[in-house]
């Protein structure tokens, strides 16, 4: 039987707070060790979350799971901050790779918010748990291990914190591999998919007439259309505008270049918004977009008493909004496993993560990698064939989505982790996709309150 006196979580980001919430049900005491200072009421960006200034499009399933673990998360604090309620599809305008997505009522809602509001509220509700404490401005320097088991951590302040379980959730900047090497653990097999994407983001305040949408996106279609953009209404009547460039075609940092990039997009809406809205603060850049997946389940001498969760185990290109959502699903899986109280459950947890992350990983890397391929040539060949089939099917469904509401809805559910990837392998959906080829595309959305009619065609840069 495992001892469950004290659990320690490294990192107080979304994954760390979720892990602490789950562990608080099974351990007498939970400690979160966070290297950054406590979140303030001001809109200061945390060093540990370099992408915090940009659009954080937490997927619908992620929002639902956050509410499951923290029932009051989107309540009074978000109401007080005037976080808008957004209906899926009805309040969205999406110009995708193959045209405008359909607009229709779904009854599904989510909040529009900044990463700062989410982190501040998550931290407050986690700290309010009776058996959880957060040590801010404390940085872990190494793991403490004995006889094949992690027994705690040592901080840079020289303090040793003992624990029955250590959960690493320190995100993209994780030093886990260095820590493991220091205690004699084998290297973690890792898959990396470099990407040439880059962001530039600025916050605006809209003081004009209400817009006909609360979220707007121009999705990229590399290589012929490498540029895209996201607009999201967030708390306090503010909007986040994120410009995205692929293949090294990055949006610039200066104000004139930011506008010129927006003017080169497939529709005029984003540029018109920028010229008529009031900017708040400067332009933030982000270039570190690599997809990384670490396979802890394949490490033969993985120590007991240690698991890894969130971006520390799998880092996605942030443009797809999968990081926090996969962390919520992983936390729910951790909750189920803790109820079994089996010896050696850590390896089972990491094996389960591979299955949880497989679908989001495919959607993120698309044609860039043969995912989760083995080492033999035969297996690689089979994996390559299977991957090409999946990518081809996805492309056919994406082409049909603007013309077929049922296909659009199913794709949305899969992309938001509400349904498994296998739900796309439906003869009915494939037949609808074939029929859609003979149907006319839907008209562009009506002109917005900005008095612009989306052109639907790429302008010269």
Final residue belonging to a domain, choices 363, 381, 408: 363
Q: Does residue 51 share a domain with residue 129? A: yes
Q: Does residue 302 share a domain with residue 387? A: no
- Domain boundaries, position 403: 371-436
What per-residue confidence (pLDDT) applies to 391?
A: 72
Final residue belonging to a domain, choices 301, 331, 363: 363
Angle at 358 between CA 64 and CA 59, to 5 degrees: 25
Q: Does residue 147 share a domain with residue 26? A: yes
d(CA 434, CA 455): 27
Structural domain count, the chain:
2
Q: Which residue has the higher pLDDT, 416 or 275?
A: 275
327-354 tens-digit pLDDT = 999 999 999 999 887 778 999 999 999 9
For the segment 285-291, the average pLDDT, to the nearest whole number, is 78
Q: Does residue 14 lie within any of the structural domains?
A: yes
Q: Which residue has the higher pLDDT, 197 or 190?
A: 190
Q: Does residue 136 share a domain with residue 41? A: yes
Q: Does residue 122 share a domain with residue 36? A: yes
Q: Does residue 270 lie within any of the structural domains?
A: no
Final residue belonging to a domain, choices 344, 363, 382: 363
Q: Does residue 296 share a domain with residue 399? A: no
Q: Does residue 353 share a domain with residue 310? A: yes
Q: Does residue 354 share a domain with residue 414? A: no
Q: Does residue 349 share a domain with residue 411? A: no
Q: Does residue 404 share a domain with residue 316? A: no
What per-residue confidence (pLDDT) applies to 366?
A: 63
Contact 143, 153 (CB under 8 A): yes
What per-residue confidence (pLDDT) applies to 416?
A: 87
Q: Which residue has the higher pLDDT, 418 or 344?
A: 418
What per-residue confidence (pLDDT) applies to 2?
A: 61
Q: Does residue 141 share a domain with residue 157? A: yes
For the segment 199-208, the average pLDDT, to the nearest whole number, is 92
CA distances from 448 to 111, 441, 445, 453 (A): 22, 20, 8, 7
- The set of residues, in sequence order, having a beta carbon less than 8 Å from that of 266 and lying 6+ positions away, is 95, 218, 225, 227, 455, 456, 457, 458, 459
Q: Which residue has the higher pLDDT, 352 or 221?
A: 352
d(CA 414, CA 422): 9
Q: Does residue 24 lie within any of the structural domains?
A: yes
Is a pLDDT exceeding 80 seen at residue 273? yes
Q: Does residue 97 lie within any of the structural domains?
A: no
pLDDT band at 198 (very low <50, low <70, confident <90, very high): confident
Provide the CATH number for the domain around residue 42: 3.50.50.60
């Amino acid at each position: 039987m495992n001892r469950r006196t004290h659990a320690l979580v490294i990192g107080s980001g979304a994954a760390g707070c979720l892990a602490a919430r789950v562990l608080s049900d099974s351990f007498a005491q939970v400690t979160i060790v966070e290297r950054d200072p406590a979140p303030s009421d001001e809109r200061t960006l945390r060093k540990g979350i370099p992408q915090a200034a940009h659009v954080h499009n937490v997927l619908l399933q992620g929002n639902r799971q956050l509410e499951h673990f923290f029932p009051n998360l989107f309540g009074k604090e978000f109401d007080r901050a005037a976080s808008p309620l957004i209906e899926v599809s009805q309040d969205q305008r999406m110009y995708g790779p193959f045209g405008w997505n359909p607009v229709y009522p779904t009854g599904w809602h989510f909040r529009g918010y900044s990463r700062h509001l989410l982190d501040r509220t998550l931290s407050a509700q986690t700290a309010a748990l009776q058996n959880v404490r957060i040590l801010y401005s404390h940085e872990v320097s190494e793991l403490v291990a004995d006889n094949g088991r992690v027994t705690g951590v040592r901080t840079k302040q020289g303090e040793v914190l003992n624990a029955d379980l250590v959960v690493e959730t320190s995100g993209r900047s994780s030093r886990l591999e260095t820590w493991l090497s220091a205690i004699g653990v084998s290297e973690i097999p890792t898959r990396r998919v470099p990407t040439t994407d880059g962001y530039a983001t600025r916050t605006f305040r809209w003081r004009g007439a209400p817009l006909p949408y609360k979220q707007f996106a121009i999705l990229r279609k590399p290589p012929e259309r490498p540029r895209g953009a996201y607009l999201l209404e967030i708390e306090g009547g503010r909007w986040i505008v994120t410009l995205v460039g692929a293949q090294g075609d990055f949006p610039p940092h200066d104000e004139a270049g930011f506008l010129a990039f927006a003017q080169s997009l497939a529709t005029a809406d984003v540029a018109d918004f920028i010229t008529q809205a009031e900017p708040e603060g400067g332009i933030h850049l982000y270039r570190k977009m690599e997809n990384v997946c670490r396979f802890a389940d394949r490490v033969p001498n993985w120590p007991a008493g240690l698991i890894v969760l969130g971006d520390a185990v799998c880092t996605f290109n942030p443009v797809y909004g999968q990081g926090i959502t996969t962390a919520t699903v992983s936390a729910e899986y951790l909750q189920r496993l803790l109820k079994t109280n089996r010896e050696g459950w850590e390896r089972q947890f990491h094996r389960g993560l591979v299955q949880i992350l497989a679908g989001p990983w495919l959607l993120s890397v698309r044609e860039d990698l043969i995912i989760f391929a083995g080492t033999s040539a035969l297996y690689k060949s089979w994996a390559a064939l299977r991957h090409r089939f999946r990518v081809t099917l996805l492309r056919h469904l994406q082409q049909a989505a603007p013309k077929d509401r049922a296909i659009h809805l199913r794709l949305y559910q899969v992309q938001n982790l509400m349904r498994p990837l296998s739900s796309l392998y439906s003869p009915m959906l494939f037949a609808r996709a074939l029929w859609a080829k003979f149907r006319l595309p839907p008209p562009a959305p009506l002109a917005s309150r900005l008095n612009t009619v989306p052109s639907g065609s790429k302008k010269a840069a």
